[in-house]
Amino acid sequence: MTTALTAGLGLKPQHYEAALACPADGLWFEVHPENYMVAGGPRLAWLEAIRARHAISLHGVALSLAADAEPDPAHLARLAGLARRIEPALISEHLAWSTWRGAYHPDLLPFPRSGEALARIADNVSRTQDALQRRIALENPSHYLHIDGHAWDEIDFLAELARRTGCGLLLDVNNVYVSARNLGCPAEAYIDAFPGERVMEIHLAGHAPDPNLGAALLVDSHDAPVAPEVWALYARLIARIGARATLIERDDKLPDFATLFAERERADSMLRTPLAVAA
Amino acid sequence: MNAPMNTPIPGTLARFQDAFAQALLALEATPAAAIASDVAALTAQPAFAVYRNTVMKGCIDALQANYPAVARLVGEEWFRAAAAIHVREALPADPTLLRYGAAFADFLARFEPAAELPYLPGVARLDRYWTEAHTAPTEDALDPAAVARLAPEALAGTVLHPHPAARWAWFADAPIYTIWSRNRNDAALDDNLDWQPEGALLVRPRDVVEWIALDAAGCVFLDACAAGATLAAAAQAALRVQSDADLARLMSTLLEAGAFSGMSFDHNQRLMEEHP
């Protein structure tokens, strides 16, 4: 996918038919592999049908790479099985944890970025890449909490993980914006410092103010169009690092396919002239 | 590279995750003193609620999606309150949330506020069967014509293999099938309901899960087939629970529904028949 350099869309069951029929050149789709780890049935059949026409990326949420434990071998085996079946263009995961002591917490949870965590996560990424026989890309998560115990800043931490394991990175520009707003640091500085040569994919999504705390806390809700500020950061990023496969993520308050596709077209046209878009 | 602010001691990450995971599920009213010191500074921040809400909402949404007939029967508010209690007892063990809730029917059976709705666990069981049928391996259903082509003398020793997506159950105490299918179909709830025992068969011969009512003889017949019994033995078992069972009609109903994926021949049976 890093050679295709086009824009893709998160694939939702409500859009299966439209996705399958869409003839757009270079269009690709991304799914959470956990939603397709089933023995058979219509979901898998749809994914295979769409895969026959479009490239697919598997974006995992449950390997729990930042847990102080090895990835669940059964889950890793299911992921490897799905990858053999779908032959995805790219596989990615998060710099976060979700499964802990056998219980899955459906979220991307934070941790103090310590040397201990770095060693553990590097080992987990290597195990994953060995099991999948390929490089994965690691995504920067959204942050909501001020954690005092960080020994590393996030970019250095991700760059060191990439150096130790050979993994790539997935830069979620919306997560950068949300985290910067929530933690009170400049999003532009993060975008400018991110190691561009490692970026295999970019994510764009919408966010929303927290229903209780209002604009003081932005939530990475994936329930709205990409915000203007995030488009501006995206333009700034690709002007510096060049075109990269870019995904529009939408998981809630789902509009029709055409509306999402229009957002995808905007990213796609920016990717065609990455140097011009920052003007 | 930033210099470490404090040197972590081994096991710090695991201790952090134990404390964080515990705080995620703690009730809002948990006193501050009860929260492990590793994460007390985090849980005190209003933003901690984002994680707490996301985890609970993700699990409850999954249960509501996986148990739609139960949710329609009890209403969304009751369902989500009950689901929240179940989530705290049994977080998903498997991140494929499409499969979450295997223990929900058992939970409802011992959930005191549900005691006056004794049919609820049965309805939950059929919702669960729908999920199991939906995600089962994809296989062609056995062609009824293939069975029709069998020589009459071969039939008794034939073993029919239930389709991997087929699920069936007999409910002796309540019309669970009618209650479930009406709520699954969004049908009106005020129709007359005959309070009688009922059975159900769910199948997925192609893409879509389908269901039909099944009598006690049919359920026992399928149990026997699943245990590897010959048609002769399965028929005897069915007749034991329902002496007037119409076995020819039952067979054709099951075959037309797509309840079987294959058949084999019990050679012992054949030998016994040829050399009694």
Quickly list DSSP for chain A: -TTT--EEEE--GGGHHHHHH---TT-EEEE-GGGG-SSSSHHHHHHHHHHTTSEEEEE-S-S-TTSSSPPPHHHHHHHHHHHHHH--SEEEEESSEEEETTEEEEEEE-----HHHHHHHHHHHHHHHHHHTS--EEEPPP--S--TT-SS-HHHHHHHHHHHH--EEEEEHHHHHHHHHHHT--HHHHHHHS-GGGEEEEEEE--EEETTTEEEEEE----SPPPHHHHHHHHHHHHHH----EEEE--SS---HHHHHHHHHHHHHHHHSTTTTT-
Cα distance between residue B151 and residue B211, in whole Å: 30
Percent of chain B beyond pLDDT 90? 81
Residue from A17, A63, A97, A145 to probe the interface with B (highest B Cβ count within 10 Å):
A145
| pLDDT for res B70 | 98
pLDDT band at A2 (very low <50, low <70, confident <90, very high): very low
Interface contact flag, B13 A111, Cβ < 8 Å: yes
Residue A225: pLDDT over 80 = yes
In 3-state terms, what secondary structure has residue B265?
strand
Chain B nearest C-alpha distance from A277 (Å): 32
HSE-up (13 A, CA, CB side) for residue B98: 22
- Going by pLDDT thresholds of 50, 70 and 90, the confidence category of residue B4 is very low
Alpha-carbon distance of A151 to A254, in angstroms, equals 39
Confidence of residue B190 (pLDDT cuts 50, 70, 90): low
ipTM above 0.90, yes or no: yes
Alpha-carbon distance A16 to nearest alpha carbon in chain B (angstroms): 14
Nearest CA in chain A to B12: A116
pLDDT band at B192 (very low <50, low <70, confident <90, very high): confident
**Residue-level pLDDT at B117:** 95
Per CB-CB distance under 8 Å, the chain B contacts of A117 are 8, 13
For the CA atoms of B87, B92, B95, B97, what is the dihedral angle to 10 degrees? -60
Say which residues have a Cβ less than 8 Å from residue B100's Cβ, sequence separation at least 6: B59, B62, B63, B66, B92, B94
- Does residue B62 sit at the A interface (CB-CB below 8 Å)? yes
> Residue B103, SS3?
coil
B198-203 and A90-94 strand pairing: unpaired
Q: Is B206 exposed, middle or buried (0-12, 13-18, 19+ CB in 10 A)?
A: middle
Nearest CA-CA partner of A114 in B228, B95, B5: B5
The torsion defined by the Cα of B91, B93, B94 and B97, in degrees rounded to 10, comes to: -20
Tokens describing residue B17: 């995750």
Structure confidence at residue B8 (pLDDT)? 46
In angstroms, what separates the C-alpha of B211 from chain A's closest C-alpha?
Answer: 16
Contact (CB<8Å) B17/A111: yes
Contact yes or no for B136 and A103 at CB 8 A? no
Residue A246 pairs in a beta bridge with: A7, A202
B157-189 confidence digits (pLDDT tens): 999 999 999 999 999 999 999 999 999 987 776
Between chain A and chain B, the number of residue pairs with CB atoms below 8 A apart is: 147
Q: How confident is the model at residue B274 (pLDDT cuts 50, 70, 90)?
A: very low
Q: Residue B152: CB partners within 8 Å, gap ≥ 6?
A: none
Predicted confidence (pLDDT) per residue in A239-268, tens digit: 999 999 999 999 999 999 999 999 999 999
The whole-number average pLDDT for the span A175-180 is: 98
Residues of chain B contacting residue A61, judged by C-beta atoms under 8 Å apart:
95
Give the residue from chain A lying closest to B130, CA to CA.
Answer: A41
| Chain B residue numbers touching A12 (CB-CB < 8 A) | none
What pLDDT band is residue A103 in, cutting at 50, 70 and 90?
A: very high
Q: Would you call B5 and A151 a contact, using CB atoms and an 8 Å cutoff? A: yes
**Nearest CB to A145; choose among B10, B48, B95:** B48
Strand B210-213 relative to strand B198-203, pairing: antiparallel
Residues of B in Cβ contact (< 8 Å) with A212: 46, 49
Is B58–A45 a contact, with Cβ atoms under 8 angstroms apart?
Answer: no
* Mean pLDDT of chain B, nearest integer: 91
B6 close contact with A: CB closer than 8 A? yes
Q: How far is it, in rounded angstroms, from Cα B228 to Cα B142?
A: 16
Residues 6+ away with beta carbon under 8 Å from A272 = A243
Question: Is A146 within 8 Å of B8 when comparing Cβ atoms?
Answer: no
- Chosen for mutation from B2, B6, B13 (greatest number of chain A CBs closer than 10 Å) is B13
Model confidence at B273, pLDDT cuts 50, 70, 90, reads very low
Distance (Å, rounded) from C-alpha B260 to C-alpha B27? 48
Of all residues in chain A, the one with the smallest CA distance to B98 is A35
User: How confident is the model over B198-216, as pLDDT tens digits?
Assistant: 999 999 998 999 999 999 9
Residues of B in contact with A164 (CB under 8 A): none
Give the separation between CA B125 and CA B121, rounded to whole angstroms.
Answer: 6
What local confidence, expressed as pLDDT, does residue B9 receive? 52
Element (H, E) at B109: helix B104-110
Distance of CA B122 to the CA centre of its chain: 10
Percent of residues in chain B assigned helix, strand, coil, to nearest 5: 55, 10, 35
Q: Could you tell me the pLDDT band of residue A67, with boundaries at 50, 70 and 90?
A: very high
Ramachandran bin of A27, using left for φ above 0, alpha for ψ from -120 to 50, beta for the remaining angles = beta
Reading the block at residue B39, the tokens are: 């994460």
Strand positions, DSSP E, chain B: 158-162, 167-171, 198-203, 210-213, 260-265
User: Could A144 and B51 be called an inter-chain contact, meaning their C-beta atoms sit closer than 8 Å?
Assistant: yes
CA angle A44/A48/A52 to nearest 5° reads 170
- CB contact under 8 Å between A152 and B2, yes or no, is yes
Considering only alpha carbons, which residue of chain B is nearest residue A34?
B96
How far is B68 from chain A, CA to nearest CA, in Å?
17
- Looking at beta carbons, which residues of chain B come within 8 Å of A41? 134-136, 138, 165, 204, 207
- Predicted confidence band of residue A279 (pLDDT cuts 50, 70, 90): very low
Chain A positions touching B98 (Cβ under 8 A) are 35, 38, 43
Using CA coordinates, name the residue in chain A closest to B45.
A145
On the 0-12 / 13-18 / 19+ scale of CB atoms within 10 A, B275 is: exposed
| Chain A residues close to B49, C-beta within 8 Å | 212
- Neighboring chain B residues of A153 at a CB cutoff of 8 Å: 2
